[in-house]
Chain A
Amino acid sequence: MKKQLFVALTASLAGLAFTAPAQAVDYATVQPAQSNIAFSYQQMGVKMDGRFRKFSAQLAFDPARPASASAAFDVDLASIDTGGAESDQEVAGKAWFDSKNFPTARFVSTGVKPLGGNRYEVAGKLSIKGRTQDIVVPATFTAQGKVGSFDGAFTLRRGDFAIGEGAWAKFDIVANDVQVKFHIVAAQK
Chain B
Amino acid sequence: MTASYTTTAKGLHWIMAVLLIGLLALGFTMHDLPLSPQKLQLYSYHKWAGVSVFLLVLFRLAWRAGHPPPPLPDSMAKPLQFAAHAGHALLYLLMLAIPLSGWLMSSAKGFQTVWFGVLPIPDLIGKDKETGDLLANVHLALNLLFVAVLAGHVGAALKHHFIDKDDILRRMLPQRRR
Contacts and interface: CB of A to CB of B under 8 A. Distances in A.
Q: Do A and B bind each other?
A: yes
Interface of A: 43-49, 83-84, 86-87, 90, 167-168, 170, 172-174
Given A45-B118, A46-B117, A90-B35, A173 B40 contact: yes
Nearest to B36: A167
Contacts of B117: 44-46
Contacts of B41: 44, 173
Contact of B114 (A46, A84, A174): A46
Nearest to B113: A46
B111 interface: yes
Nearest to B112: A46
B40 A44 contact: yes
Interface in B42-88: 44
A49 B107 CA distance: 12
Sorted nearest first, the 7 A-B pairs with minimum C-beta distance are A45-B117, A83-B110, A173-B37, A44-B44, A90-B35, A46-B114, A45-B114
Interface in B1-47: 35-38, 40-41, 44
Contact of A48 (B35, B111, B113): B111
Contacts of A43: 40, 111
Contacts of B36: 167
A48 B40 contact: no
Contacts, number: 42
Contacts of A172: 37
A174 B40 contact: yes
Q: Is the interface of A mostly helix, strand, loop or mixed?
A: mixed
B123 to A, nearest CB: 11
Interface residues of B, number: 17
Contact of B112 (A47, A90, A173): A47
A47 B111 CA distance: 8
B127 interface: yes
17 contacts: A45-B118, A46-B111, A46-B114, A46-B117, A47-B112, A48-B110, A48-B111, A49-B110, A49-B127, A83-B127, A84-B109, A90-B35, A167-B36, A168-B37, A173-B37, A173-B41, A174-B37
Nearest to A170: B37
A27 to B, nearest CB: 32
Contacts of A45: 114, 117-118
Contacts of B118: 45
Contacts of A46: 44, 111-114, 117, 120
A86 B39 CA distance: 12
A46 to B, nearest CB: 5
A90 B39 CA distance: 13
A167 B39 CA distance: 11
B35, B112, B120 pick with most chain A CB within 10 angstroms: B35
